[in-house]
Amino acid sequence: LVAMAIDASTGKTIWEREVRSVDSIPSIHTKNSHASPTPIVAEGSVFVHFGTLGTARLSCEDGEIQWLCTELIYPPMHGSGGSPVLHDGRLAIVCDGSKDPFVVALDAETGNIAWKTLRGVPARISHSFVTPSIAMVDGKRLVLAPGPEHFAAYDLADGSEVFRVLAPGWSVVPQPIVFEDLVIYNHDYDNPELMAVRLGGNGDVTGSHIAWRRDRSAPSTPTPVLVDGLLSLIHISEPTRLRRIS
């Protein structure tokens, strides 16, 4: 498991660092790799994530390893895909494996687990590959994390589940998009549907907070792009104007 820094102008390698060597690796999809998650660069450091194989913080200057966490143990399905999100000194990571899926936050300074929360909804198929998003809702920083059979929002401070929306689905990939007071996300792979949910509330808000839902041309893998109130999806020819449905 290797991290590299490459000069953007010349393509020359500045440094190359072996983060960890492992004796055995889980099986992965032929389209995947063990280094699919995107690195994060912040304050002179780079954070790299190899799913259950390890997460590390390195110096941007020379690749020196500042910490290595190997405690996120779970059985991945097809390998790992979701990337960490850094906010308020914590790395939020979704670990939806083939069983006992969970969401976790690592302390960015130490690499220690700040909290770990098991998914609260039983699922027939429990794996997903989502990258979470962060939003300020009612004075709290929330980790917005779609997953198997539901969408859940967790308090970034302590990992407690604040609210959830129940919707069938699995193998979720696209990152949630925040638009005004809505979170827009995909909740399935075989039969993808795009949903918009009003941020806020407590507990199960399925019956009260769904603003709209769309199954035609919904993405199964790519994340939509939001520009000036237009949500562009890779599967449709024209952008969709966001419209509130009361």
Distances (CA, A) of 127 to 31, 49, 119, 145, 146: 17, 18, 11, 13, 11
Confidence grade of residue 242 (pLDDT, cut at 50, 70, 90): low
* pLDDT at residue 238, as a whole number: 47
| DSSP classification of residue 51 | G
* pLDDT at residue 197, as a whole number: 97
Residue 133 bridge partners (DSSP): 144
Q: Flag whether pLDDT at 34 surpasses 80.
A: yes
pLDDT in tens, 158-172: 999 999 999 988 889
DSSP notation for 187-239? --SSS--EEEEES--SEE-HHHHEEEEE-TT--SSSPPEEETTEEE-TTSSSP
Mean pLDDT of 214-226: 86
- What residues contact residue 101 under an 8 Å CB cut-off, 6+ apart? 74, 94, 95, 118, 119, 123, 126, 127, 128, 147, 148
Instruction: Give the pair of three-digit tokens for residue 112.
Output: 């220690």
Instruction: Give the pair of three-digit tokens for residue 11.
Output: 């393509």
Percent of the chain with pLDDT over 70: 95
Poorest-confidence range of 4-13, 100-109, 220-229? 220-229
- Report the C-alpha gap between 215 and 217 in whole angstroms: 6
pTM score > 0.85 for this model?
Answer: yes
Mean pLDDT of 110-129: 94
